[in-house]
Amino acid sequence: MARRISTDEGRAALAAVRAADAASARPARADLATAVRYLLQLLVEKAPGNAVEVRVPPFGAVQVLEGPRHTRGTPPNVVETDTATWIALATGAESWADAVAAGRILASGTRADLSALLPLRP
């Protein structure tokens, strides 16, 4: 993630995404991108490190949790999900267990369970 997203900017993007969802409309791409990146930023602040890569294509990927660092190829611990699921997980609208059971999270590696870190409560 290139630049830091301010709390006000992140919360405004989340509010815009929620409003669009409530109206059964498609959120603006810019709002989705900012909301996802803001929530990933909060995750990095909460659990800094390089042991697990969290991917939310197409908007972002970060490394979190202390532990062995990977530098080449696919990391041993990866979590990948879509934008809507990531926002729901990070804000507490959905539980980790429910998203995993529904197949909306692809997680590999022994450290790829982020349930203890979520929700982020922005």
Torsion over CA of 39, 34, 77 and 45, rounded to 10 degrees?
-40
What pLDDT, in 10s, does the model give residues 101-118?
999 999 999 889 999 999
The answer to whether the bond into 75 is cis (omega within 30° of 0) is no
Total residue count of the chain as it appears in this document: 122
What pLDDT, in 10s, does the model give residues 45-67?
999 998 999 999 999 999 999 88
Q: 107, 100 in Cβ contact below 8 A? A: yes
What pLDDT, in 10s, does the model give residues 16-25?
999 999 999 9
pTM, rounded to two decimals: 0.92
Q: What is the pLDDT of residue 1?
A: 47
Question: Which 3 state secondary structure label does DSSP give 78?
Answer: strand
The pLDDT-based confidence of 39 (bands split at 50, 70, 90) is very high
CB-CB neighbours of 70 under 10 Å: 16
* Residue-by-residue DSSP string for 34-77: HHHHHHHHHHHHHS-SSSEEEEETTTEEEEESSS----SSS-SS
